[in-house]
C-alpha cells in the first residue's frame, strides 16, 4: 500500500496530536490523581454566605452601575463572594481545557461525598465548612496550618509553617495578604488515586491569587510528595503581583 506525501503528513499530525494528548493527560493526572479520567471526577467547594432575613424586607444590597448610579435591593439570601467565584472560574477553566467540560461545583453547605473524587476546596477553615472538616482530619501531616490568634482584641488567622526548625508565621496586614495551596491524599483511598486541594487566603485577595497561581502553574507541582504546600505573599494594591515564600 502506498501513501501520498499529504496523506503521510496527515497521519503524522494525527498521531502527534494523540501523543501530545496522552502526555498532557499523564502530566495532569500526576498532579491531580491517577484515578482522574474525566471532569466528573472533580468537585469544587465554595463557601456560601447566607444573609439574615428581615420581616420588613429592608434593602440588604447596594448595586452601582457602570455610570455610578446606585440601586438598593433586598436581593438573594444565599451568595458567593466575587473573588471566590473568579478563583473557581480559573480552576474550572483549567479542568475544561483538559477534558472539554467543567467540573461539579458545590457550596460548603452541601454534604457532598468526596470519595473517589479529587476535591478543590476554596476558602480557609474559618469560612469553608469542608475546609475545616478535612484540614482537621489531616492536621498531623500538614506542613502549613491555619492558626487563629487574638490581635488587637479581635480574632484573626495566620499561616504557620510547622516544619521542623521553621515555626514561622505569616500574618497579613494593610498592604499584604497571604495565599496558600495545600495538597493531601484521601485517607481511605489508594495512594495517589485522588487528592484534596485547599486553596485559600487569609482574605479573599489571597484566595483569588492562590487560585490564579494554581491554574497557571499546576505543572510545577509534578514530582512533589503527596503532601505539599505553597505559600504566596500577595500585594493587596496589585493582587496580580505576588511571590512564593514557601514551597515544600
* Cα 131 to Cα 124: distance, rounded to the nearest angstrom: 6
The x, y and z cell numbers of residue 210, run together, are 492562590
Q: Is the dihedral of CA 104, 107, 110, 115 positive or negative?
A: positive
**155: DSSP letter:** E
Answer yes or no: pTM beyond 0.95. Answer: no
The string of DSSP letters for 127-145 reads: T-HHHHHHHHHTGGG-SEE
- How confident is the prediction along the chain (248 residues), in pLDDT tens digits per residue? 555 656 545 655 554 444 455 457 778 999 999 999 999 999 999 999 998 888 788 888 899 999 999 999 998 889 999 999 999 999 999 999 999 898 989 999 887 788 889 999 999 999 999 999 988 888 888 889 998 877 666 778 899 887 766 678 898 888 999 999 999 998 777 888 999 999 999 999 999 999 999 999 999 999 899 999 999 999 998 888 889 988 87
Q: Which domains does the chain have, with CATH numbers?
A: 26-50+59-247 (3.30.379.10)
* Cα 40 to Cα 179: distance, rounded to the nearest angstrom: 27
Amino acid at each position: 500500500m502506498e501513501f501520498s506525501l499529504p496523506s503521510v503528513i496527515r497521519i503524522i499530525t494525527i498521531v502527534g496530536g494523540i501523543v501530545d494528548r496522552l502526555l498532557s493527560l499523564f502530566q495532569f493526572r500526576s498532579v491531580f490523581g491517577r484515578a482522574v479520567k474525566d471532569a466528573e471526577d472533580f468537585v469544587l467547594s465554595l463557601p456560601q454566605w447566607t444573609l439574615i432575613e428581615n420581616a420588613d424586607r429592608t434593602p440588604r444590597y447596594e448595586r452601582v452601575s457602570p455610570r455610578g448610579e446606585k440601586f438598593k435591593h433586598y436581593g438573594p439570601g444565599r451568595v458567593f463572594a466575587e473573588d471566590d467565584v473568579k478563583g473557581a472560574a480559573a480552576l474550572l477553566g483549567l479542568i475544561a481545557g483538559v477534558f472539554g467540560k467543567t467540573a461539579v461545583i458545590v457550596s460548603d453547605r452541601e454534604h457532598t461525598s468526596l470519595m473517589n473524587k479529587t476535591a478543590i476546596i476554596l476558602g480557609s477553615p474559618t469560612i469553608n465548612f469542608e475546609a475545616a472538616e478535612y484540614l482537621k482530619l489531616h492536621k498531623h501531616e500538614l506542613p502549613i496550618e491555619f492558626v487563629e490568634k487574638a490581635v488587637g482584641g479581635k480574632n484573626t488567622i495566620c499561616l504557620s509553617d510547622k516544619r521542623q526548625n521553621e515555626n514561622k508565621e505569616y500574618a497579613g496586614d494593610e498592604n499584604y495578604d497571604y495565599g496558600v495551596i495545600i495538597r493531601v491524599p484521601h485517607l481511605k483511598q489508594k495512594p495517589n488515586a485522588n487528592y484534596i486541594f485547599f486553596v485559600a487566603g487569609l482574605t479573599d485577595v489571597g484566595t483569588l491569587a492562590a487560585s490564579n497561581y494554581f491554574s497557571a502553574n499546576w505543572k510545577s507541582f509534578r514530582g512533589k510528595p503527596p503532601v505539599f504546600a505553597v505559600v504566596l505573599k500577595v500585594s493587596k494594591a496589585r493582587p496580580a503581583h505576588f511571590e512564593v515564600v514557601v514551597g515544600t
